């Protein structure tokens, strides 16, 4: 428990699209339109609301909440235009990344407490680094 066998995870698992993304895409578009209007661009507060709605509905993921600060970081990682806003077309890669990290984090948090020890976090980061190195 609490260890990921990095050898058993395919390198592309870090960036694989959600196989059910097309199923939830109409819902995502509606949420983006409701939050961002015609531009369909959302800020961290709006993304927080969208993600938490989707995470509560998606029972495949072990966690159901994302903080506004995490949303700011996710937007910064995926927003190549430096607007501080995420457009709907930038959402799928971010969703895949969030799903991957959530699954990996859950492997170290079998009780779903929402936190892991410093040692486990270090091991998790090392294993992600190995996976990333195999991808490149």
Is 11 among the domain residues? Answer: no
Give the number of domains in the chain. 1
Residue appearing with tokens 């058993």: 8
What DSSP string describes the chain?
Answer: -----GGGS-GGGGTPPPTTHHHHHHHHHHHHHHHHGGG-EE-HHHHHHHHHHHHHH-TTSS-----HHHHHHHHHHH-TT-SS-EEGGGHHHHHHHHHHHHHHHHHT-TT--S---HHHHHHHHHHHHHHHHHH-
- Tell me the pLDDT tens digit for each residue of 106-130: 888 877 777 788 988 888 888 877 7
pLDDT range class, residue 104, cuts 50, 70, 90: confident
User: Percent of the chain, pLDDT > 90?
Assistant: 23
Is 55 among the domain residues? Answer: yes
pLDDT at residue 75 greater than cutoff 80: yes
pLDDT of residue 136: 46
pLDDT of residue 30: 95
Domain of residue 99, residue span: 19-135
pLDDT of residue 43: 95
CATH number of 52's domain? 1.10.238.10
Query: What φ, ψ does residue 84 adopt, rounded to 5°?
Result: 75, 10
Mention every residue, 6+ apart, whose C-beta is less than 8 A from residue 60: 20, 99
pLDDT at residue 8 greater than cutoff 90: no
- pTM greater than 0.85 (yes/no): no
pLDDT of residue 6: 46
Rounded to the nearest integer, the mean pLDDT of the chain is 79
- Average the pLDDT over 37-54 and give the result: 92
Is 33 among the domain residues? Answer: yes
Is 6 among the domain residues? Answer: no
């Amino acid at each position: 428990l609490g260890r990921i066998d990095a050898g058993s995870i395919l390198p592309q698992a870090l960036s694989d699209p959600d196989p059910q993304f097309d199923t939830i895409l109409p819902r995502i578009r509606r949420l983006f339109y409701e939050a961002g209007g015609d531009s369909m661009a959302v800020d961290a507060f709006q993304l927080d609301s969208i993600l938490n709605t989707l995470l509560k509905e998606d029972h495949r993921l072990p966690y159901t909440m994302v903080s506004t600060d995490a949303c700011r970081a996710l937007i910064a990682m995926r927003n190549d235009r430096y607007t501080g806003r995420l457009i709907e077309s930038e959402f799928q890669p971010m969703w895949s990344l969030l799903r991957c990290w959530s699954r990996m984090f859950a492997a170290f948090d079998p009780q779903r407490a929402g936190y892991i020890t410093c040692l486990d976090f270090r091991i998790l980061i090392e294993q992600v680094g190995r996976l990333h190195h195999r991808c490149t």
